[in-house]
Amino acid sequence: MAIKYIIVSLSMVLLLPQCTNTSKSATSTAKARIEIDDLFVDGEPEEGLDNIAIFTPATETTHILWKSLSGELSEEFNIRTVVTSHTTSASDIGKHIRNIKPVAIVLIDNSTVKKFRKYQAYHKNDKTPVFIFMASFLKEIIGMVNHATGIAYEVPGVLSMVRARNILKTDVINVGAVYREAFRDYVKAEASMMSVEKFKMCTASLGDNPTKFDLEAALDNLLNKQKVDVLWILNDNALLKQELVADVWLPTLHNSPMPTVVNVPVLLNPDVEFGTLAVIPDSAALGVQAANMIFNAYDMDWEIEENRVELPLSVLTYIDKENAQKNFGLRRNATDYIDKQL
């Protein structure tokens, strides 16, 4: 597959979607957005029930979580949802909170957390408990939100590598990871857990604003000097900018095919051959786990253990089967460990 075709495909199907220049594309995007927004419909508020505010962007994945979570909570609380977008402001969040006076606030996705932090900066006396779900690197950011707890969205790397080892015929021993210095402690903790399962973490550290030359050097170090067997790609937007994916990640993987374990299924696409497999939380099960966390806080009169982050209890394994089979081979019983093939 030509690198040029890969890059064009990536811009259309992977993360960080950009606005196109055609009115037809813009219309289609707007229509799709309206349709997904319409799925987030709350029931009629019941008198006598406390309100829980949910702030969430509208995607297929967040809808699965929202539907499961709101279904579990709706008999005991009024669910009051705000679908957020790039135009949603901290002021909008504050207005909704003032109007409904929630006993608890749910934030879904990092973009919503970022907006809420701006609201909270001007409302430091608000002690309403905050529950955060589907946010990347939650352990690293939870302390930036007051009175918050939540569930991590990253599955421990060791679990992902065990799945990769069970599925792929190729060796999965030396695990390569590129990370920014801000995530040093996270990577160190993951490396410690991986060692228990006899994986060796091989790392390359970059600064806060890596250039494509920095990333090229890091990948060259991992692939050609440390001779890693697999790449574990962190869900870090700074390392997954479109230009870095198109100019560095894809050409490197095209020239030196390497199993890549990613943290979001959107990075798996048979036309692109970037991600090989992903191990992610089961969104429906995550909704049930989130509801139980909220019910437990309710039973404790809304006292929560601040900065506590639970691990997801149920995960799913996605795989780009054609890519994996062609480049690395699959073990005889691989399907026992696969939940969805792309």
Residues 263 and 161 in one domain: yes
CATH of residue 99? 3.40.50.2300
Q: How many domains is the chain built from?
A: 2
Q: Quick one: pLDDT at residue 1?
A: 38
Confidence grade of residue 34 (pLDDT, cut at 50, 70, 90): low
Q: Quick one: pLDDT at residue 173?
A: 97
Provide long-range contacts, Cβ within 8 A and 24+ apart, for 129-132. Answer: 129/103, 129/104, 129/105, 129/297, 129/302, 129/304, 130/104, 130/105, 130/106, 131/104, 131/105, 131/106, 131/107, 131/290, 131/293, 131/294, 131/297, 132/106, 132/107, 132/108
pLDDT tens figures, 64-82: 999 999 999 999 999 999 9
Confidence grade of residue 310 (pLDDT, cut at 50, 70, 90): very high
pLDDT tens figures, 140-154: 999 999 999 999 999
> 27 in a domain, yes or no?
no
Residues 203 and 253 in one domain: yes
Q: Quick one: pLDDT at residue 30?
A: 53
Q: Quick one: pLDDT at residue 17?
A: 36
Confidence grade of residue 33 (pLDDT, cut at 50, 70, 90): low
Residue keyed to tokens 């299924």: 265
Q: Quick one: pLDDT at residue 264?
A: 85
Q: Quick one: pLDDT at residue 13?
A: 39
Domain that holds residue 49: 34-154+281-314
pTM of this structure: 0.86
